[in-house]
Amino acid sequence: MSIFEYNGSALVAMVGKNCFAIASDRRLGVQLQTIATDFQRIYNIHPKLFIGLSGLASDAQTLYQRLVFRHKLYELREERNMKPETFASLVSAIQYEKRFGPYFCQPVIAGLGDDDKPFICTMDAIGAKELAKDFVVAGTASESLYGACEAMFKPDMEAEELFETISQALLSSVDRDCLSGWGGHVYVVTPMEVTEKILKGRMD
Partner 1 sequence: MTKEAIDMPQKGGFSFDLCKRNDMLLQNGLKMPSFLKTGTTIVGLIFQDGVILGADTRATEGPIVADKNCEKIHYIAPNIYCCGAGTAADTEAVTDMISSQLTLHRYHTGRESRVVTALSLLKSHLFNYQGHVSAALVLGGVDVTGPHLHTIYPHGSTDTLPYATMGSGSLAAMAIFESKYREGLSREEGVALVAEAIRSGIFNDLGSGSNVDICVITKGQKEYLRNHMTPNPRTYVSEKGYSFSKKTELLSTKITPLRETVVVIEGGDAMEE
Q: Does 154 bind partner 1 (CB under 8 A)?
A: yes
- In 3D space, the residue among 9, 5, 26 whose CA is nearest the CA of residue 186 turns out to be 26
CB of 70 to partner 1, least distance (A): 7
Q: Which segment (8-16, 79-87, 92-100, 174-182) binds partner 1 by CB under 8 A?
A: 92-100
Please work out the total of residues on this chain that contact partner 1, with binding judged by CB under 8 A: 54
Q: Which segment (14-22, 75-83, 174-182, 186-194) binds partner 1 by CB under 8 A?
A: 186-194
Q: Does 198 bind partner 1 (CB under 8 A)?
A: yes
Q: Does 97 bind partner 1 (CB under 8 A)?
A: yes
Q: Which segment (9-17, 75-83, 151-159, 173-181) binds partner 1 by CB under 8 A?
A: 151-159
Provide the 3-class DSSP secondary structure of residue 5: helix
Q: Judge contact between 42 and 24, C-beta under 8 A.
A: yes
Q: Which of 55, 84, 111, 118 binds partner 1 (CB under 8 A)?
A: 55
- In 3D space, the residue among 154, 200, 179, 192 whose CA is nearest the CA of residue 10 turns out to be 179
The CB-side HSE value for 115 (13 A sphere, CA atoms) comes to 2
The CB-side HSE value for 148 (13 A sphere, CA atoms) comes to 26
Work out the number of other CB atoms within 10 angstroms of the CB of residue 200.
8
Q: Give the residue with the Cβ less far from partner 1, 74 or 178.
A: 74
Alpha-carbon distance of 163 to 20, in angstroms, equals: 9
Q: Does 36 bind partner 1 (CB under 8 A)?
A: no
Q: Which of 78, 130, 156, 158 binds partner 1 (CB under 8 A)?
A: 130
Q: Does 111 bind partner 1 (CB under 8 A)?
A: no
108, 139, 147, 195 from 172: Cα distances, Å: 19, 14, 10, 21
Alpha-carbon distance of 117 to 14, in angstroms, equals: 13
Q: Which segment (9-17, 76-84, 97-105, 174-182) binds partner 1 by CB under 8 A?
A: 97-105
Provide the 3-class DSSP secondary structure of residue 109: strand
Q: Give the residue with the Cβ less far from partner 1, 24 or 92.
A: 92
Written as one letter, the residue type at 59 is D
Residues that bind partner 1 (CB under 8 A): 1-4, 6, 47-48, 55, 66, 69-70, 92, 95-104, 124-130, 132, 142-143, 146, 151-152, 154, 163-165, 167-168, 171, 183, 189, 191-200
